[in-house]
Structure formats: C-alpha cells, structure tokens
Amino acid sequence: MYAGASWNDVRRLVRTGKVQLRGATETDPAARVEPGDEIEVRMRAPRRDALPREALVYVDAEVVVADKPAGISTVPFDAKEQGTLDQQVRLALARREKRSGPPLGVVHRIDRPTSGLVVFARTLRAKRHLEQQFRAHSIHRRYLALCHGEVQSGTLNSRLVADRGDGLRGSTGNPRLGRLATTHVRALEPLAGATLVECRLETGRTHQIRIQLSETGHPLLGERVYVRGYAGPLLDAPRLMLHAAELGFVHPSRGKQLSFESALPGDMTGILESLRGRMPD
C-alpha cells in the first residue's frame, strides 16, 4: 500500500476508511481485489467512525433507525473489526445525548456492500418486540436493486442452505433441508443490459436477494460472489447495487406503525443514470 508498511499498518489504514477500491470506500482488509482494480489512498478522507448526523434517521428512548453507508458492516465480524454501524451509532448517540448508553440491540443486518435502513433496539423490551415482528414477517422491507438482464416481476421461493455443494450459500431442492426464503420482485424500469427492480422481503435469510436473483439468471450489478454459471457480460459497478430503501415496523411501546425511506445513494444513482443514457432511442 505504501513503502515500508507492515500488514498491520495496511489493515489499520483500510479500516479507517481512507482506501478506495473500484471507486468506493473499502473498510475490509480482506476484500477481494481483481486484476485491473483501481486502488486509491485518500489520507485526508474522514474516518469511518464518524457517522453523519443525517444518518440517524429516527431516535427515541427505545429504537434507533440508521441509514447505513455501503462498505461498513452492520455489526463486527470479529472482536477486532472497528467502524461498524452499531459502533458508529453508539458514538453518535453519546455525542447527541451527552452520555454513553448500553449496547444497542441488534435485530437484523444488511450486508457490508449494501446501503440503507437498519433498526436497532435500545431496550431489551424493544429488542424482543422487534424480533417478534421479524419472526412474524410483519416488518416492511423494500430494497432497490440493479440487476443484469431483463428481469420479470414475480415471487421467488426457495429453500436456502449454507452450502449448495460448491462452498456457497444457495437453494436446494430437498424439502427437508434449508430455510424457506420468499422475495417479491417487481421490475420497475428496463435499462441498457439491466433492470431496476424492487425487492420486498417476506423472509430475511442471509444474502437472500443476491442468491435468488442470481439463480434466476439476473445477478446484481457489482456481484462478485454469486455469479458462477452466469454466461452474460458483467456490467461494471463500484459495489453491490443493492439499497434498503424502505423500512416499516410497529413501535414497541406506542403501537404505532412507523415507516422510513432512504433515497438512492450517489453511486447507485450514477450507475442508474449511465444505464438510462445508453438505452436506444
């Protein structure tokens, strides 16, 4: 990365958010680098442990809704990982409220390369209430994604397993294995070689949207894991083109339905506009 740097030096630098990979901030020292990938070090870039004020979408005594930027984990993968969303939210709340509170209750996650809305619980009661809503599939979760090819609207149902036989998560035809995953897909706009789609989650399995769309022949732009067997040209994208755009749930104590929206981030908007501009007249 720079002359005389040890691996520990490089790892610390990457985790601060000062390294750009393929045009997007990368905070994972173990991130895969492909031949030809552009890497840039920006020493003046702000540390990724400083969450922008506007990223706290909603705060009260029981719940917090945050707008996660792409490139950071929702929670630490291990004890050494720093700058994760839950850590940043706690710091932001401490600055805002002039006091340090208890750890946040984690009730769901979105992938590191995915951007968008995440809810945390601030009390044990709120955590249990939100977890029950997730188990009952009553949480409203709407994602926006850019997918390869011409996607058709429909509902995707499959049973997901941790290893489909090639070391990757995927679907199985065995009704006694895996867990049922259901994603409602609606094609929103045809693009040059791609489609803008919305995905409404009925269940929330690990990598559910990524796996199911890839298995239908339409991997997400920026996908680098679930693309085995895809024969078409891969459109370039700086990261996984997936955004958690809407989140809705019943407040744990007030019983009121809360709904939140997050606009597409700049990197997705840029790719979207580029693909629109390449459409034939």
Residues 6+ apart with CB under 8 A from 36: none
Query: For the chain, what is the HEC assignment?
Result: CCCCCCHHHHHHHHHCCCEEECCEECCCCCCCCCCCCCEEECCCCCCCCCCCHHHEEEECCCEEEEEECCCCCCCCCCCCCCCCHHHHHHHHHHHHHCCCCCCCEECCCCCCCCEEEEEEECCHHHHHHHHHHHHCCCCEEEEEEEEECCCCCEEEEEEEECCCCCCCCEEECCCCCCEEEEEEEEEEEEECCEEEEEEEECCCCCCHHHHHHHHCCCCECCCCCCCCCCCCCCCCCCCCCEEEEEEEEECCCCCCEEEEECCCCHHHHHHHHHHHHCCCC
Token pair recorded at residue 245 = 């755009």
The gap from C-alpha 106 to its chain's centroid, in whole angstroms, comes to 15
Annotation says 111 is catalytic: yes
The rounded distance, in Å, linking the Cα atoms of 124 and 102 is: 10
CB atoms within 10 A of CB 215: 17
* Active-site entry in 111, 236, 267, 281: 111
Which positions are catalytic? 111
